[in-house]
Structure 1
Amino acid sequence: MLLDGDEWRAMLRGFQSEAWRLEALPQYLVPQESGELEAFRDGKRLDPHAYSSTYTEDLKRLRGEGKRKGRVHIVVRPLSEYLQFEFSRYYAPHVIAGEDVRILDVTDRENPLPDVRDFWMFDRSTVVLMHYEDDGTQIGRELYVGEPADFLEYQRIAIAESVPFMKYMKSDVRS
């Protein structure tokens, strides 16, 4: 089943305890981000402590309700321009607001999840496969029909092999 529009928004809002994502691409082409990406290219940066958006406010609300959102992004250095943008524009404010963002840097080691593609998992039971063109343009979301055991294992490995975003940003391995 393909998810779009209201069905997708309901999935993102309707989880009971945890929404978790694995990201594996070096860039995502999101038309709504084009202006912000241009500002980033022009050297404009935001203060992640002062930044507020619908997403960060939602993260704070979820945390207050005892719910969790998290993700692991698999990266290879040097970081793409998009990842540099995403790290400063989204990840830093999202971590401050309560999201558990982690980085799995596979530059100098074997990727423990070599064939795993992007997905969301909700409440450790519902998996949505994210489909992208090679350039990072999203072309669909598909509700996975089957047992989530493999995806639970992917999550376990990704978390065990990654580091918290803020720790990654403080290290000198990003260059």
Structure 2
Amino acid sequence: MAKKRTSGGTPATVTLDRAGIAYEVRAYEHDPAATSYGLEAASALGVPPERVFKTLLVDTDKGLGVGIVPVDRLLDLKAVAAALGAKKATMADPAVAERVTGYVVGGISPVGQKKALPTILDASALQHATILVSGGKRGLDIELAPGDLVKVTRGSTAPVAREA
């Protein structure tokens, strides 16, 4: 997979370029009326939802963390807490998520966040050669190998998704 640079880029693409990680930019026309950013991306890009992952911030007794799960599934809060070494987790307040990551809700990328947070990618990602995650703004995804995502985020994998 070749790198595709966007003019100026986003913090996510800049971080991937600096790390020498191959990725592909996948842009689409975002519909402001969409009720699910992730399912909108999957549909617009013609990619099965199990290959498109959403980035969710959680608040734990150990601090903030990131859970990355397929867009057609939910984040299992007990599982992500355990994977992060915490006793419990709740979804982070959206305003906190935006402030800490530097991205807007619906465009939060796991890559290039303002503050590096402990990150857990759902283990189902490893079943795919490539997955898509937000590229740092609504209407922009990046496609990359799951192992490269774990590497660049200094994260790990665990089964943290559950049925919707």
Higher strand share: 2
TM over 0.5: no
Task: Please report the TM-score for the alignment, with normalisation by the length of structure 2.
Answer: 0.28
TM-score (norm 1): 0.27
Greater C-alpha radius of gyration:
1
The structure whose RCO (Cα within 8 Å, separation 6+) is larger is 1
Q: Which of the pair is proportionally richer in helix?
A: 1
